[in-house]
Amino acid sequence: MKRDRLIWDFWKLFTAETSLDLESKKAFKIHMAETNANRLIMAFPIIVVLTAILGALDLKLLRSHDATEFHSGLWLFSGHLILLVVSTSARIYLKANHNGARRPNRERITNLALFLFFTAFVLIAIGRFHTSQTIAPYFVGVAIYCAFTLQSNLQSIFLYGCHLVLLIALLMFYEPNHQILFGYVINAFNFTVFLWIASRYLHSKEIQYLMSIRERDALLKHQERLIHELEQASQSVKTLQGMLPICSGCKKIRDDKGYWSQIESYFQKHANLGFSHGLCPDCLEEIYPEHTMRNQETNQE
C-alpha cells in the first residue's frame, strides 16, 4: 500500500503540469519565464563579483608553464568568462525589455542564458578536474538550477541531459583510466537524477502555489461581482417610512411638495410598485348587483 502511494506521489510530480487546462498552462509558462528572468537579474551582482575574483586566479594558471595548469586555467577562464558575458548581456536586455509585447523574446533570452550558465559550470568542472581531480563545480551548478530555476518537464530533461552528456564526453577525453572514469560518471549521473527529481518536486509545488493564487483571485472576483449585484439591487429598492397623508374621501395621497396623487401613481413613483385592477366581492355586489344575483340563482339551481 505504501509502495503504491509512493509510486502515485512520484507520478504526480511529472503530471502536475499536464493536468492544467490551456489557460493555466499559458499563465504558468509566463510565470516561469518572468520568475527566471527576475532571479537572473537579481543574481547579476553576485555573478560579477565571483567571476571577477575567480578570473584573477585563472590568469595565474594561464601564465603557468605547466601544461596541466595551463589547460585547467583555460577551461576555468572560459567558464567564468561565459558567466560574466552572458549574465551582463541578459541583464541589459531583460531590464530594457520588460513590457508584455516582448515577453516571448524575454523567455528565449532567459532560457538561452540558463543553458549557457549550465555549460559554463561544466567547463569549470573540467578545469577543476585537471588540477584537483574533482567535478564539484558541476554538482554546484546542478544544485543551483534545482533550487533557483523553473523549467518545464521537457526543458529540464533537455537541460540536465545535454550537460550530463557533455560532462561525460569531456571526462572520457581527459581521463584514460576507465575505472576512475566509471566512478565519476556514476556519481555525476546519480547526483543529476536525484536533483532532477527534486526539481520536479519544486516544480509541482510552484504549480500548486500558482493555482491557489488563481483560485483565490477567482473567488475574490466572484465575491466582488455578488457585492456589486447586491448593491445594484439595494439601490433599486425604495422603502416608504413614516406617516402618509391620505384623503378620507377619494384616497389620494399628498406628497412632500403638496401635490395630491392617486394611490397607484404614488406607489409606482416612490416604491417601484405596479398595480393590476380588479373588484373585490363587496364592490362587485355594489356595482354589478345583477351579476351577483345571477351567480346566486345559478348556485341555487
Q: Are 74 and 137 within one domain?
A: yes
Query: Tell me, what's the pLDDT at 298?
Result: 61
Residues ≥6 apart with Cβ < 8 Å to 210:
24, 27, 28, 31
Answer yes or no: is 222 within a domain.
no
Reported as a single tens digit per residue, the pLDDT across 275-299 is: 677 777 777 677 777 766 666 656 5
Into how many domains does the chain fold?
A: 2
Q: Are 15 and 124 within one domain?
A: yes
Between CA 146 and CA 105 the distance in angstroms is: 23
Can you give the residue range of the structural domain that contains 74?
8-214
Answer yes or no: is 235 within a domain.
no
Answer yes or no: is 115 within a domain.
yes
Q: Are 140 and 63 within one domain?
A: yes
Answer yes or no: is 196 within a domain.
yes
Q: Are 28 and 112 within one domain?
A: yes
Reported as a single tens digit per residue, the pLDDT across 188-215 is: 899 898 888 888 888 888 888 888 888 8
Is this structure's pTM higher than 0.75? Answer: no
Q: Are 276 and 201 within one domain?
A: no
Between CA 65 and CA 46 the distance in angstroms is: 32
Answer yes or no: is 228 within a domain.
no
Of 214, 233, 259, the one marking the end of a domain is: 214
Query: Tell me, what's the pLDDT at 261?
Result: 80
Written as nine digits, the cell of 239 is 422603502
Q: Are 142 and 82 within one domain?
A: yes
Answer yes or no: is 137 within a domain.
yes
Answer yes or no: is 251 within a domain.
yes
Q: Are 77 and 146 within one domain?
A: yes
Q: Are 179 and 41 within one domain?
A: yes
Q: Are 57 and 195 within one domain?
A: yes
Low-confidence ranges of the chain (pLDDT < 50): none
Which residue type is seen at 29?
A: K
Please answer whether residues 141 and 117 qualify as being in contact, where contact means their C-beta atoms are separated by less than 8 angstroms. Answer: yes
Reported as a single tens digit per residue, the pLDDT across 148-171 is: 888 888 888 888 888 889 888 888
Of 194, 214, 234, the one marking the end of a domain is: 214
Between CA 82 and CA 141 the distance in angstroms is: 14
Answer yes or no: is 236 within a domain.
no
Query: Tell me, what's the pLDDT at 35?
Result: 85
Please answer whether residues 110 and 36 qualify as being in contact, where contact means their C-beta atoms are separated by less than 8 angstroms. Answer: yes
Query: Tell me, what's the pLDDT at 30?
Result: 81
